[in-house]
Amino acid sequence: MLKQLQTQFAEVLEQTHAASRLTLSQPYLNATQAMQIYQNNYLLSLIEALTASYPSVLKLVGQDYFHFVAKQFVLQCGHDQGDLNLFGAGFAQFLTKQSDISHLPYLPAMAELDWRIERCAAQALETQYLSLELLQALPNQDLSQAILPLASNQMLMTSPYPVLTIYHMLQQDQVQPIELDQAQYLLLSKQLDFSVKLEPLTELEYAFLAHCQERRPLAELNPSCIAQLQELLGKAISQQYLASPSQPTAE
């Protein structure tokens, strides 16, 4: 009986116009009225979660439209996870399907940046970064097979739009005309104070760090990265981009 009631309750929350058939003990409200209150609270709580997760999108489209599109996202996608912090993962993709914001082609990319900032802030801090001493401790014959993983507090992002430039303008409330045809490569790093640092990368730096994120040995780097490996490793060590080295797992 309890399981059936829970299932019905969840189904009703996902429906805005369906009359409830639940049998609830309520001295002042009937079942339909009581469930309407839960439905409204359910919608409001998820819209508030999206508002907190996507501040750049909110600034770009305004509160009224954001609440409208957020409500549509909730009604179409729902929320089936216990952790509210994970809600909203598909919002950027959802925005690509909204024809009424086609004049803001970079909006989904800004949503993706907002989401990655939030997820990066939830990452664990790295306990042991790659150092020159750790690298030199590897036997020469093993260096080519070494795996240098991206630090646990780092995330990567690439976009065909200058999302970092737009983000900084929004943060400073100084929106200005810019060239949109500018791809950007970014590294997100969680800091000790739980803030997230956004750093632009070159295309080559991004390729190198993406390779490391995939936990592939150095020998499999593309030729361009291998040609600049000393410089790439030097910056990665000095800026603490990478964790301590590991060896590939035997298959």
Provide the token pair at 243: 């964790």
What digits encode the pLDDT tens for the residues 84-133? 677 888 999 999 999 999 999 999 999 999 999 999 999 999 999 999 99
Give the residue carrying structure tokens 């900084």: 168
Higher-confidence position of 8 and 174: 174
**C-alpha pair distances (Å), 144 with each of 4, 37, 45, 71, 239:** 58, 62, 51, 51, 22
What digits encode the pLDDT tens for the residues 122-153? 999 999 999 999 988 887 667 888 999 999 99
Q: Answer for the pair 152, 123: CB distance below 8 angstroms, yes or no.
A: yes
Please name every residue paired with 242 in a beta bridge, in sequence order, or none if there are none: 150
Q: What distance in Å separates the CA atoms of residue 27 and residue 134, rounded to the nearest whole number?
A: 69
Asked if pLDDT for residue 39 goes beyond 70, the answer is no
* Other Cβ atoms within 10 Å of 207 Cβ, number: 18
SS3 197: strand
